[in-house]
Amino acid sequence: MARLRVKGLRSLRRSLRSYARDVRVEVALEMTAVMEEIQDAAREMAPFETGQLEGSIQPSPRVVDADELTGRVTANTEYAAVQEFGFTGTVSVDAHKRTMKQGFGDSSNYPMTVTIPAHTRRMDIEGNFYLTKAAQTAKQTYSKRIGDAIQRAQ
């Protein structure tokens, strides 16, 4: 039986481990940059009323295990999904007060505060797809950018 001995095997293993670490770092940095670009684009496209939705859009890179990097860009408001995908249906509205600034009759009666009883309301909100559009834009160059990150690690 023949024995084979490879010179420099330890050095090769060390180099490969180092390369794998470098690739992982470069890919993670590029993923973070892409997620921040998605965040910026989504914030620009999100419907704006109070700024809460826009401010809630955040990237979150995660390491799941040693072999996998994942990342997400999410919006963390109660109504984010409705603004993204739309909604058609009936919602319950609690009793509340409303100030009327004009109406029928003598204008000296206004403004007046009235109590609106609890009721249901039919809603049909069209989706804005602000996160979807931002992600699709980033997707066009993502593969090339990750490939470039791997090349930088060499």
Domain residue extents for the chain: 11-87+126-152
Q: pLDDT band for 65, please (50, 70, 90 cuts).
A: low
Residue 86's H or E segment, with its range, is strand 86-93
Is the model's pTM score more than 0.85? Answer: no
Distance, CA of 141 to CA of 149 (rounded, Å): 12
Section 3-27 average pLDDT? 85
Instruction: Please name which of 115, 130, 108, 126 lies closest in space to residue 57, comparing C-alpha atoms.
Output: 130
